Amino acid sequence: MCGRFTLTETIQKLQMAFEFEYSGGEIVPRYNIAPSQNILTVIGNGEQRIGKQMKWGLVPFWAKDEKIGFKMINARAEGIDSKTSFKTPFKRKRCLILADGFYEWRKTEEGKQPYRFIMKDEEPFALAGVWDTWNKGENPLMSCTIITTDPNEVTEEVHDRMPVILKKSDFEDWLNPNFNDTDYLKSLLVPYPAEKMDKYPVSSKVNSPKNERAELISPLNSL
């Protein structure tokens, strides 16, 4: 699964890297993003890319209660086109979830040790997601989930799943709501090339979502 991630880049750099328009308010560095919080996503309307703040934890349009989102932070790639909660968004409501690192935990004799996973070039990247709008509350709620897949050689030492990281060349098809080749879209939901990624242990302070400081992303042996 993917239960925490980071996004510390400026909105200007993100807009240049992912080519989207944004008018959703201030973006501040985030060092410990947790489920149920608002996160920065990018969606497409067939003509342009638009940055949107969405709640992390998918609330399907048909849900009776938005609390269902707490159970919908991840969607397995294997069932994305068949599970009731995800198959409709997968057809037309796909998004990029922007990040520059994510956390996973490895079980040890001393307890769970958190690791941060990044690109070797330390550039931001896009996680594959699907989104939906829930209209049964006081205001419309846009929410999303992160799609996960099998681990690559970098992540498998820590966890048996990893978030799907999309290649830049796949953004256009993924974001196009009019592109519905299910088999092709599912073919994108594979482990990211391990040779482009790196990992390092970090402080257990990241275990609590209440902690949100730059020191959380420092390598453990440098603290």
Q: Active-site residue numbers? A: 2, 104
Partners of 7 in the beta sheet?
Answer: 30
CA 40 – CA 201 distance, rounded (Å): 25
Contact (Cβ atoms closer than 8 angstroms) between residue 181 and residue 187:
no
CA 166 – CA 186 distance, rounded (Å): 12
- Cα–Cα distances (Å) from 188 to 84, 106, 183, in that order, read 21, 27, 9
Termini Cα distance of the chain = 27
CB environment 35-67: b (16+ within 10 A), e (fewer): beebbbbbbbeeeebbbbebbbbbbbeebeebe
CA 132 – CA 143 distance, rounded (Å): 6
170-174: long-range contacts at Cβ-Cβ below 8 A with a sequence spacing of 24 or more?
171/18, 171/49, 171/96, 171/126, 172/44, 174/94, 174/96, 174/128
